[in-house]
Amino acid sequence: MAVKTITITEEAYRKLARLKREHESFTDVINRALGGPSALELAGLLDSATADKVKSDIRRMRRHIEARMERTRKAMKS
C-alpha cells in the first residue's frame, strides 16, 4: 500500500483524535469519516417496490422543502 504524508493543523489533529476509536488508525478514521458507500455498492439492496417507495418519498420531501424555501424567500422580500 502506498503511503502519503500530509500536514494538518493541531486543531485538525485534535478533531481527528477525538473521532479515533480504540485500535483504529488515523487512516481508518479518515476513511470512515469520508469513505461512505458509493452508489454502486448500494445497488441491489432494496427490492424494486421498496426502491420505488423510497424514490417517491424523496420526491415528496423535496417538493415540501422547495415549497418552504419559496415561502421563506417571499417572506424575506416583504
What pLDDT digit, counting tens, does each position of 5-64 carry? Answer: 999 999 999 999 999 999 999 998 998 889 877 666 677 888 999 989 999 999 999 999
Q: State the Cα–Cα distance between residues 34 and 75, nearest whole angstrom.
A: 37
Q: State the Cα–Cα distance between residues 14 and 9, nearest whole angstrom.
A: 9
Question: Which residues of 1-78 form beta strands (DSSP E)?
Answer: none
Put simply, whether the predicted model's pTM sits higher than 0.75 gets the answer: no
